[in-house]
Amino acid sequence: MELQKMAVALVACLCLLVFGATTSQAGHPAHPDPKLINPLRIMPEASSGDSVSVNNCLSWRLTVETNNKRNWNGVPEICGNYVAHYMTGKQYGYDCDAVVDIAIEYVKSLPIPRDGRSIWIFDIDDTALSNLPFFSRPDVFFGVKTDNAELEAEFYEFILTAEVPVLEATLRLYQAVVEAGIKAIFLTGSSERSADARDKNLKAVGYHTWEKLILKPDSVNTTVQVFKSQVRNRLVVQGYRIEGNIGDQWADIVGSNVGRRTFKLPNPMYYGYY
Amino acid sequence: MELQKMAVALVACLCLLVFGATTSQAGHPAHPDPKLINPLRIMPEASSGDSVSVNNCLSWRLTVETNNKRNWNGVPEICGNYVAHYMTGKQYGYDCDAVVDIAIEYVKSLPIPRDGRSIWIFDIDDTALSNLPFFSRPDVFFGVKTDNAELEAEFYEFILTAEVPVLEATLRLYQAVVEAGIKAIFLTGSSERSADARDKNLKAVGYHTWEKLILKPDSVNTTVQVFKSQVRNRLVVQGYRIEGNIGDQWADIVGSNVGRRTFKLPNPMYYGYY
């Protein structure tokens, strides 16, 4: 009798495993018990201010990751639970690993001259380090609620703790890059006032050596994309060869002198303005 | 008793629906009964020649769509069923619609001068028209098996029938583009010998008017990316303004004079070489 029940459940499970990729993606996002989303207890309330209706959160994420959707401000409320599951489940890690596997294969294929001019550009936030502890706060809810000056100040405090955890996949790429004789450049749009914290934080999690750590001076009023392009232009003028460039935002890898090859890590939680 | 069984199955189903997005994406791809994949009866046998191991087909597709994975030749065999489900299920259509919704919002936001110089560039294969009838052939299996001169010839014959179906989302964008006073340009890497068939095919499915239909001359030996860049450069020199550019391949939307804004439709079945 118990065996019979299990058999029926098993058949149902198998049926869903087989078609899960299609059927679970086809409908509207499921709204599970919020208590299931550890460590969150509060459901999102804020609106996304999105002018295109969001019917399907898998489609929404794909348009974000492929740079079709731009200048978006906040995860649509309806996709909050979907993004929460994605970021706290295994798929986010798998996706980061898949990007880094391709990047490492590329690094190993490169002929690196021994002139010390080969560099690799690493973004910091949600590339070298993971801001997930901040974004999983109930009052941020994985990017559903971010349009808030107070939260911005608290994010800055979070950075200053210098205890932001590593993004494991990127550390793996860093190790392959250094081993190949390519120098690491950390390039971030975060304020140069956080330089000490970032320096300490990067070293603490395993990024032990680098050629430059470049932060955005408070006097620079351009967008992150323009700032990063200008920095890269300067590096190229100085004689460096940008063998690769990795970031979680398109603003990190478009513009001028983007590098011999670019890599885009996933990030469905926020949009880095061009 | 029957009710009890159903209840157990229902609980198992609900459990999987709630966590489906995470769990069904986390493991290795399922291998369903091939008979379930209509209209296919034969399982894929060919190897993908992929040098990076593929552990997760969702990750694989994301790396493809985000231009992290490049120059790939054939869908990895292990992801054949996953791609088959995606392309024949509802998600592919949802994803195309999501891209086109963003593009139409952009079109409506544009100030279009009445000088007749505004153009929009449409790719044809798997953008204006859908090659799915060909790619769902058992001996092609959604791109698992494509590295074959015979298949290439048969694909050309398929094109020449001029009965390739429309990709509905793109037709919707085309209508918005024409309505906004932007002229359509169809730009394809397929041979100019197929010009009559393409002309007839496009008109038959609803693309009634265009400024130019540009095919690749057989004398051009460059890659599709270079060919399309050169054509766009020429259009700009002629005084056209490329307001938008849509394709299913990155080769369609990178290079020079890509347009004021680019849109990438999904296509996990093949890679258009740069």
**Chain A residues with beta carbon closer than 8 angstroms to that of B13:** 12, 16
Q: Strands B183-191, B241-247: parallel, antiparallel or unpaired by DSSP? A: unpaired
CA distance A171 to B242: 41
Mean pLDDT of A20-26: 36
Contact B99, B244 (CB under 8 A): no
pLDDT of residue A51: 52
Phi first, then psi: what are they for A66, rounded to 5°?
Answer: -95, 5
Residue A165 predicted with pLDDT over 60: yes
Percent of chain B residues past pLDDT 70, beyond the cut: 79
CA B62 to chain centre: 14
pLDDT of residue B54: 66
Q: Which of A9, A63, A95 has the CB atom closest to B98's CB atom?
A: A63
Mark residue A145 as left, alpha or beta (left: phi above 0; alpha: psi -120 to 50; beta: remaining): beta
**Chain B residues with beta carbon closer than 8 angstroms to that of A108:** none
Q: Which of B117, B246, B124, B102 is CA-nearest to residue B186?
A: B124
Do B24 and A20 make contact, defined as CB atoms within 8 angstroms? yes
Mean pLDDT of B34-59: 50
**Chain B residues with beta carbon closer than 8 angstroms to that of A266:** 62, 66
Residue B20 predicted with pLDDT over 50: no
Q: How confident is the model at residue B19 (pLDDT cuts 50, 70, 90)?
A: very low
CA B205 to chain centre: 17
- The Cα of B251 is separated from the nearest Cα of chain A by a number of Å equal to 14
Q: How confident is the model at residue A8 (pLDDT cuts 50, 70, 90)?
A: very low
CA B54 to chain centre: 21
pLDDT of residue A46: 33
Tens-place pLDDT, residues A94-146: 999 999 999 999 999 999 999 999 999 999 999 999 999 999 999 999 999 87
Task: Supply the mean pLDDT for chain A.
Answer: 85
Amino acid at B96: C
- The Cα of B11 is separated from the nearest Cα of chain A by a number of Å equal to 8
pLDDT of residue A196: 98
CA angle B60, B66, B69 (to 5 degrees): 55
Q: How confident is the model at residue A246 (pLDDT cuts 50, 70, 90)?
A: very high
Tens-place pLDDT, residues A68-88: 999 999 999 999 999 999 999
Comparing A13 with A169, which gets the higher pLDDT? A169
- Minimal Cα distance from B249: which residue of A? A66
Do B90 and A51 make contact, defined as CB atoms within 8 angstroms? no
Looking at domain B88-264, which CATH architecture does it have? 3-Layer(aba) Sandwich (3.40)
CA distance B186 to B197: 14
Q: Which of A26, A51, A98 has the CB atom closest to B90's CB atom?
A: A26
CA distance A65 to B262: 14
Percent of chain A residues past pLDDT 90, beyond the cut: 76
Strand partners, A185: A121, A212
Do B55 and A16 make contact, defined as CB atoms within 8 angstroms? no
For an interface test with A, give the residue of B33, B95, B105 to mutate (most A CBs within 10 A). B95
Residue A41 predicted with pLDDT over 60: no
Contact A183, A211 (CB under 8 A): yes
Residue A190 predicted with pLDDT over 70: yes
Contact A232, A205 (CB under 8 A): no
pLDDT of residue A146: 78
pLDDT of residue B5: 52
CA angle A86, B265, B113 (to 5 degrees): 120
- On whether ipTM exceeds 0.90, the answer is no
Contact A40, A141 (CB under 8 A): yes
Do B58 and A8 make contact, defined as CB atoms within 8 angstroms? no
Q: How confident is the model at residue B16 (pLDDT cuts 50, 70, 90)?
A: very low
Residue A1 predicted with pLDDT over 50: no
Do B21 and A105 make contact, defined as CB atoms within 8 angstroms? no
Q: How confident is the model at residue A148 (pLDDT cuts 50, 70, 90)?
A: confident
Mean pLDDT of B186-192: 96
pLDDT of residue B272: 84
Q: Strand (E) positions, A86-138?
A: 118-122
pLDDT of residue A147: 72
pLDDT of residue A5: 52
Task: Supply the mean pLDDT for chain B.
Answer: 85
Q: Which of B17, B22, B62 has the CB atom closest to A89's CB atom?
A: B22
Do A25 and B21 make contact, defined as CB atoms within 8 angstroms? yes
Which 3 state secondary structure label does DSSP give A46? coil
pLDDT of residue B149: 85
Residue A6 predicted with pLDDT over 90: no
Percent of chain B residues past pLDDT 90, beyond the cut: 76
Mark residue A53 as left, alpha or beta (left: phi above 0; alpha: psi -120 to 50; beta: remaining): beta
pLDDT of residue A145: 87
Contact A271, A70 (CB under 8 A): yes
CB-based burial label for A80 (10 Å; 0-12, 13-18, 19+)? buried
Which residue is listed with tokens 């801001």? A131
Tens-place pLDDT, residues B109-131: 999 999 999 999 999 999 999 99
pLDDT of residue B9: 47
Q: What are the residue ranges spanned by the domains of chain A?
A: 88-264
Contact B65, A65 (CB under 8 A): yes
Mean pLDDT of B19-23: 36
Q: Which of A12, A68, A266 has the CB atom closest to B99's CB atom?
A: A68
Lateral strand order in the sheet of A262-264: A212-216, A183-191, A118-122, A241-247, A262-264
- The Cα of B244 is separated from the nearest Cα of chain A by a number of Å equal to 12
Residue A166 predicted with pLDDT over 60: yes
Q: Which of A12, A22, A98 has the CB atom closest to B13's CB atom?
A: A12
